[in-house]
Amino acid sequence: MKEELSPAQVRGIENIVLGYVPLLKRENIAIVDQHFNQLNVPLGGAPEDQMRSRQQAEVAKQEFALEAAARHLLEPYVGPNNFRVAAVVEMDFKDLSRETTEYGTEPKLSEEEISERSSTSTTPGGGQPGVNANIPDLGVTAGPQGAVLSKETDNTSSTKNIYDTTHEVSKQNVAKVLKKTLAVTLDSAAVRRMARDRMSSGEVAAASPAAATAEEAATAAVLGDVERLLAGLGLSSARDVLTVVQLPLDRTPELERARYVRQKWLQEQIRLWVPVAAIVMVMVLLGAAFYYLRRRKLVEITAPIEEMERAMVEPKRELSLYELGIQDMSDIASLPPEEQRRVLLRREVEEFAMKRREEAAAIIKGWLSEGQ
């Protein structure tokens, strides 16, 4: 469905484009329709551009009117959302020139005066009197021997009537429709539903040789009704083209073309970004490996140092008798006398510590003071 754009809407589209592209100039913007006709013509442009704009507007007006009439006929029969309409109008534009001359009703009297004056002068010859060559012409006054002879013409005048005239040359642009093309796409689901309704009501026409089943015959009848309905638009069978087809509206040529464009765009994006993603992934893996190796080397270097620091900070704990392997008196007897004394004292303290902690602490303090 096409909609006719007003000059203000076309101007608004130009302003939107200029707002998003600051360095773009208005004269470099071309707004075209689905037939690649330019819709935006600069204000005050060349006469050819203005004429082309008017012609395009006339074509768009004819197409819009044809589509609106087709929708008006199809909506009650098929349903408002069960069809698509597209119209193309081919027109011939001719410039006719007409030249007219108009005469006024009241004549004007004009006087034209022609003045002519001529003179000739001769000297009479000295021939014998009575000779023809020496006889002057009529109207010529002869003077004495050697005098000048003259000839004069009077002034003349004439009159004629002159009328006021108006000369006008006019050009007229004549538009002629050469061909109309109307393409109607019906939703296949709606057509099947209408065909089943015909079959259930018993209005199915006789199956033609091309229709093998009653459903196909009913479908052909529905399409035929739509064609006969659109014949009321005044389309000429010899000149114009009417096409009625059924397709799923979600798979119309326009949608298929848009889907194809999206797929091509996705393929281009994948072809562009997959190598970039692979490079980024390789760089991340190399960075992780470098960090792991550096961390491992650092741990190997700092582990002994940390162990030494820990040993210096933590107090040395004396091993208990059990940890030393001294469990009974026979083990104590094998020790030197000094060690026996210390072991017995420690054993006494450990046994006492299990019973009373405060007294054990006092004994330990006394033992420490004796050791000093």
Kindly indicate the confidence band of residue 236, based on its pLDDT and cuts at 50, 70 and 90.
confident
- Would you state the pLDDT for residue 328? 57
> Does pLDDT of 208 surpass 80?
no
Six-digit token pair at 91?
């027109």
- Would you state the pLDDT for residue 47? 66
Six-digit token pair at 11?
């101007």
C-alpha distances in angstroms, 293 versus 287, 289, 302, 342, 371? 10, 6, 14, 52, 53
| Cβ(185)–Cβ(249) below 8 Å | yes
DSSP-based three-state secondary structure for 297: helix
> Does pLDDT of 282 surpass 90?
yes
Ranked by mean pLDDT, the top range of 29-43, 170-184, 264-278, 330-344 is: 264-278
What are the residues facing 179 on neighbouring strands?
Answer: 90
Q: What H or E segment, with its residue span, contains residue 182?
A: strand 156-187
DSSP 26: G
Question: What order do you get walking across the sheet with 241-247 strand by strand?
Answer: 83-114, 156-187, 241-247
Over residues 283-306, the pLDDT tens digits come to 999 999 999 998 888 888 887 777
| Cβ(136)–Cβ(124) below 8 Å | yes
What are the residues facing 92 on neighbouring strands?
Answer: 176
- The more confidently predicted of residues 53 and 222 is 222
Determine the average pLDDT of the residues in 260-287: 89
The residue ranges of every structural domain in the chain are 1-40, 255-313, 321-371
> Does pLDDT of 345 surpass 70?
yes
- Strands 241-247, 83-114: pairing kind: unpaired
- Would you state the pLDDT for residue 138? 47
Over residues 73-93, the pLDDT tens digits come to 888 888 888 888 888 888 887
Six-digit token pair at 22?
């600051």
- The more confidently predicted of residues 32 and 219 is 219
- Would you state the pLDDT for residue 289? 93
- Kindly tell me the sign of the dihedral angle through the C-alpha atoms of 69, 75, 76, 77: positive
> What residue spans of 36-93 are helical by DSSP H?
47-78
> Does pLDDT of 361 surpass 50?
yes
- Would you state the pLDDT for residue 201? 76
- The more confidently predicted of residues 106 and 82 is 82
**Mean pLDDT lowest among 116-120, 269-273, 354-358:** 116-120
Rounded Cα distance, 117 and 57, in Å: 70
Determine the average pLDDT of the residues in 343-362: 68
> What residue spans of the chain are helical by DSSP H?
7-20, 47-78, 188-201, 214-230, 253-313, 321-324, 329-333, 337-353, 357-371
- Would you state the pLDDT for residue 132? 46
- The more confidently predicted of residues 343 and 185 is 185
Contacts for 15 with CB less than 8 Å, ≥ 6 apart = none
Alpha-carbon Rg for the chain, nearest whole angstrom, is 60
Ranked by mean pLDDT, the top range of 11-20, 244-253, 286-295, 342-351 is: 286-295
- Would you state the pLDDT for residue 279? 93
Length of the chain counted residue by residue:
372
Over residues 153-207, the pLDDT tens digits come to 554 555 555 556 665 655 666 778 888 888 888 888 888 888 888 888 776 554 4
Determine the average pLDDT of the residues in 48-65: 78
Over residues 117-159, the pLDDT tens digits come to 444 444 444 444 444 444 444 444 444 444 444 445 554 555 5
